[in-house]
Amino acid sequence: MSYLDNIRTFVRVYELGSMSAAGRDLRISPAVTSARISQLEDHLNVRLFQRTTRNLSPTEQGEAFYGGACAVLEAVDDAEANVVNLTDNPRGSLYVAAPLGVGRRLVAPEVPGFLAEYPDIDVRLRLSDRSVDLTTEGLDLAFFLGEPEDSNLRIRKIADCRRVLCASPTYVAERGKPARGADLVGGKHECLNLRFPGANEFQWRLVTPEGPQRFAVTGRYECDDGDVLTDWALMGQGVALKPVFEVAEHLLAGRLVPVAEETPPVPVQMACLYTHRRHQDPKTRLFMDYMTQRVGRIVKASEVQVRGMLK
């Protein structure tokens, strides 16, 4: 398996652009990472990367080898998946990404139950509100809220998630309660924005009598962590647009109240994103089946809890 290990290491170094990053991803030391690349270069009798103290980039030979190396690994993965299908004993590592709120509240609490049911599988969960690239980051699947940009990927829908505009009672007492989206623009209110490098949506999409419309809201508070926005809203610093499942407990306790109820946010889709090849992997299918059922049920239950509070 050493040659395959070397190829797998080469692919991760190529994709991540760093020996140390590839080592962390594969859970091997930098020394082992470097040794595997050197062994592969000796075997092929070419240099696969140009190395300097500050930079690492693939050579022409490295770029040519990458496509074939990926094909080799995919063929091995497919062959192993076929064997697993026959033996009904799924095993191996699952690399999963999810937004922070979804991951913390919905996915992570369900992982122990899944691993108890499938003891030969391990899950490596990565949480971030930024967009992820399944291919370059070596992910098997990613949970997301919204619409994916890459139409070449497959989608497994989990639920349509209701969202709410909310603020603390303290904020409403001090600044007044906005009735509609128009009240939020023009600096009339402090809007708490989820933004991160590469984000392409800087407006809130709300349901109006004329249909869905975008409102260009502004505010002094921005963060790439949705939970921080919730904390700011609880502190009375502004209005937040949140999925109901993330703030249901605060709404029920009265720590947050719905605002701009005449123009509620457009619901957002929650789904799993995966490549066609990954779906053929039994452990990927099992994980999606397991999470879709449980996460969808939790989302719906949270919305039922606060249904009487929302118009």
- The pLDDT of residue 175 is 93
- The pLDDT of residue 207 is 92
Section 31-59 average pLDDT? 87
Specify the fold of 2-86.
Arc Repressor Mutant, subunit A (1.10.10)
Least confident of 148-152, 214-218, 286-290: 148-152
Residue for token pair 């049911």: 117
- The pLDDT of residue 196 is 60
Q: Which residue has the higher pLDDT, 81 or 33?
A: 33
Section 261-285 average pLDDT? 83
Same fold, 2-86 and 89-161+269-305: no
Going from N- to C-terminal start, the domains of the chain cover: 2-86, 89-161+269-305, 163-266
Would you say residue 279 has pLDDT above 60?
A: no
Section 292-297 average pLDDT? 90
Section 71-82 average pLDDT? 76
CATH of range 89-161+269-305; options 2.30.40.10, 3.40.190.10, 1.20.1250.20, 1.10.3210.10: 3.40.190.10
The pair of three-digit structure tokens given for residue 304, joined into one six-digit string: 């039922």
How far lies 235's CA from each of 95, 131, 192, in Å? 35, 28, 12
Please state, in angstroms and rounded to a whole number, the distance separating the CA atoms of residues 118 and 90: 7
Specify the fold of 163-266.
D-Maltodextrin-Binding Protein; domain 2 (3.40.190)
- The pLDDT of residue 200 is 47
> Which residue(s) pair with 265 in the sheet?
206
Most confident of 6-20, 171-185, 277-291: 171-185
- The pLDDT of residue 86 is 47
Report the interhelical angle of 282-305 vs 244-253 (nearest 10°): 30
> Which residue(s) pair with 109 in the sheet?
none
Torsion sign, CA atoms 103, 106, 109, 111: negative
Please state, in angstroms and rounded to a whole number, the distance separating the CA atoms of residues 149 and 283: 25
Section 53-63 average pLDDT? 85
Using only the alpha carbons of the chain, give its radius of gyration.
23
Most confident of 72-76, 107-111, 225-229, 292-296: 107-111
Q: How far is CA 95 from the centre of its chain?
A: 11
